[in-house]
Amino acid sequence: MSTPVLSCKGLCKSYKAGTPVLDKLDFELPAGKVVGLLGPNGCGKSTLMKLICGILVPDAGEITVCGEPRSEKTNAYISYLPERTYFNSWMRVDELINYFKEFYTDFDEVLARKMLSDLRIDTHSKLKALSKGTKEKVQLVLVMARRAKLYLLDEPIAGVDPAARDYILQTIIQNYNPDACVVIATHLIRDIEPTLDEFAFLGFGGIVMLSGSADEVRAEHGKSLDELFKEVFKYVP
C-alpha cells in the first residue's frame, strides 16, 4: 500500500480556551486525487490548511506529508493558495514569475506563462492595476505551475468570475502532478463538484460529517454533493 500524501492523526487546535476549531481530527489522503474539503464558513478548513503548512501550530496531534513528519523540509512538497492574496501590489506579474522561479525549484515558468496567456493576463502589468479577481487568477496560476506533492487551495474560485471558473478548474485537473494530491477547501460545492474524486464534509469542531468517493456517494444517495451538503448542514446558520 502506497504512503499517503497527507496524514493527520488526533489533530486539535483552539483559538480560545474551551472552543476547539479542530478536535481530534483523523484522515488520510492518497496521491492522484482531487479532494474537496467542504464545509460552512468557520468550520476550520483554513485553519487545517495553515496547520499543514506550518503557519499555525497544533495543540495536539500529528501531521505527516509523504510519510515524513511536518517540518520545514515537508513545506517544499506543498504548494499553498491562501484564501486572500498576499503579493505586494507594486510588483509586476513578470516579477512574481521570477520570484517563484528563484524561490521554488519545482516551478514551471513555461506552464505559468501559458496559463496567464490563456487567461489574457498581461505579465507586464502591476498587481495594483489588476482587479481583485485577476489578482486571484495570477496567484492560482503560480501555485498550480509548481510540481508539488500536495496542493492546498483555499477557496480558489470564490472571487473569480463565472466565465473563468471552468478554465481554472480544468487548469487544476490538467496541470497537477499525477503523483500528487489536490485539496480544495470551499463552500461553493456546485461549481467544483465535477472536479472532485473524493470529498469530506467538515463540520464545526473539525468533525467529518460525511466523506468518501464522490461518485460512490452520489450513486448511493441518488443526490449531488451539493444537495447532500444542504441536507447535512441544513441547521447550520
Query: pLDDT tens digit string along 133-171?
Result: 888 889 989 998 999 999 999 988 776 777 777 777 777
Query: Is residue 93 assigned to a domain?
Result: no
- Residue 177: CATH number of its domain: 3.40.50.300
pLDDT at 1: 58
Query: Is residue 108 assigned to a domain?
Result: no
Cα–Cα distance list, 89 to 106, 128, 130 (Å): 25, 5, 9
pLDDT at 36: 93
Query: Is residue 96 assigned to a domain?
Result: no
pLDDT at 235: 58
Query: Is residue 138 assigned to a domain?
Result: no
Query: Is residue 180 assigned to a domain?
Result: yes
Indicate the average pLDDT of the chain.
88
Query: Is residue 12 assigned to a domain?
Result: yes
Query: Is residue 49 assigned to a domain?
Result: yes
Query: Is residue 237 assigned to a domain?
Result: no
pLDDT tens per residue, range 71-112: 989 999 999 999 887 888 899 999 999 999 999 999 999 999
Cα–Cα distance list, 60 to 25, 111, 157, 225 (Å): 10, 39, 31, 31
From CA 199, how far away is CA 215, in angstroms rounded?
A: 10
The domain of 23 spans 6-86+149-232
Q: What whole-number percentage of the chain has pLDDT above 90?
A: 53
Confidence of residue 67 (pLDDT cuts 50, 70, 90): very high
* Bridge partners, residue 81, by sequence: 153
Segment among 41-50, 104-113, 185-194, 222-231 with least mean pLDDT: 185-194
How many Å separate Cα 200 from the centre of its chain?
Answer: 13
Residue 172, pLDDT above cutoff 90? no
pLDDT tens per residue, range 13-62: 998 766 788 988 998 998 989 999 998 888 889 999 999 999 999 999 99
Segment among 57-61, 117-121, 232-236 with least mean pLDDT: 232-236
Residue 173, pLDDT above cutoff 80? no
Grid coordinates belonging to 144: 498550480
Number of domains in the chain: 1
Grid coordinates belonging to 237: 446558520
Confidence of residue 124 (pLDDT cuts 50, 70, 90): very high
